[in-house]
Structure 1
Amino acid sequence: MFLLAFLCFALDFTAVASTDSAGLSPECRIDTLLYNGEHAINMVFAAEGYRSGELEGFRKLGRGLAEYFLSAPPFSDYTEDFNIFLANTVSDESGISSPEEERNTFFKVRAGNHGIGRLLVPEDIGKCEKALDGLLPGWDFICICVNSKEYGGGGGDLTVVTGHALAGEVLLHELGHSIGGLADEYWSAAEFIGEFPNMTLSPDNAPWSGIPGTGTYPLLRPDGSTAAYIPCRTTENSAYCKMGMLGKDFCPACSKAISAAIEEILVNRRRNVPDVL
Structure 2
Amino acid sequence: MHEYGKVWTLFESGKVENKVDILILGDGYTSKEKKKFHSDVKKLVGVLFDTEPFKSQKKNFNVRAIDIASDRSGISNPRMDFWVNTPLGLSFNAFDSDRYVLSFENEAIREIAANAPYDAIMMVANTRKYGGGGIFNLYATTSSDTEPAAYVFVHEFGHSFAGLADEYYTSSVAYEDFNAPGVEPWEPNATALLDPENLKWKKYTAESTPIPTPWNQEQYDKASYEYQKKRTEMRARGASESDMEKLFREVKNITEPMLRSERYFGKVGAFEGAMYRGKGLYRPEVDCIMFTRNPDYFCKVCSAGILRVITLYTE
Q: Does the C-alpha gap of structure 1 residues 191 and 126 become closer, same or farther in structure 2, counting only changes over 3 Å?
A: farther
One-letter amino acid of the counterpart of residue 97, structure 1: S
* Match of residue 126 from structure 2: 147
* Match of residue 293 from structure 2: 246
Describe the SS at the equivalent of 2:188: coil
Equivalent residues of 2:155, 2:290 under 8 A apart: yes
Q: TM-score when scaled to structure 2?
A: 0.69
2:146 aligned with 1:167: no
2:10 aligned with 1:33: yes
2:202 aligned with 1:209: yes
Query: Which of 270, 277, 281 is the matching residue for 1:228?
Result: 281
* Match of residue 88 from structure 1: 67
2:158 aligned with 1:176: yes
One-letter amino acid of the counterpart of residue 243, structure 1: M
Aligned 1:21-60 pairs, distance under 5 A:
25=2, 27-38=4-15, 39-60=18-39
Moved over 2 A (4+): 24-27, 124-127, 191-195, 200-203
Counterpart Cα distance in 2 of 1:51 and 1:221? 37
Counterpart Cα distance in 2 of 1:112 and 1:148? 14
Higher relative contact order (CA 8 A, sep 6+): 2
Describe the SS at the equivalent of 1:77: coil
One-letter amino acid of the counterpart of residue 98, structure 2: G
Counterpart Cα distance in 1 of 2:178 and 2:71? 34
* Match of residue 107 from structure 1: 88
Q: CA-atom RMSD, angstroms?
A: 2.1
Larger helix fraction of residues: 2
In the comparison of the two structures, how many residue pairs are matched?
235
Question: Which digits, 9 at most, give the CA deviation of each residue in 1:91-150, with x for residues without a partner?
Answer: 1221111222211101001101122211100123343123211x21x2111111111122
Provide structure 1 residue ranges, at least 5 long, that are not aligned to the other structure. Answer: 1-23, 234-239, 268-277
Counterpart Cα distance in 1 of 2:153 and 2:177? 22
Counterpart Cα distance in 2 of 1:200 and 1:130? 37
Counterpart Cα distance in 2 of 1:125 and 1:214? 38
Deviation at 1:69, TM superposition (A): 1.1
Question: Which digits, 9 at most, give the CA deviation of each residue in 1:71-100, with x for residues without a partner?
Answer: 111100111111111211111221111222
One-letter amino acid of the counterpart of residue 264, structure 1: L
The percent of aligned pairs where both chains have the same amino acid is 26
* Match of residue 257 from structure 1: 305
* Match of residue 219 from structure 1: 273
Describe the SS at the equivalent of 1:44: strand
Provide structure 2 residue ranges, at least 5 long, that are not aligned to the other structure. Answer: 180-184, 206-266
Q: Does the C-alpha gap of structure 1 residues 127 and 251 become closer, same or farther in structure 2, counting only changes over 3 Å?
A: same
Q: Does the C-alpha gap of structure 1 residues 167 and 192 become closer, same or farther in structure 2, counting only changes over 3 Å?
A: farther
Deviation at 1:26, TM superposition (A): 6.2
Counterpart Cα distance in 2 of 1:33 and 1:123? 27
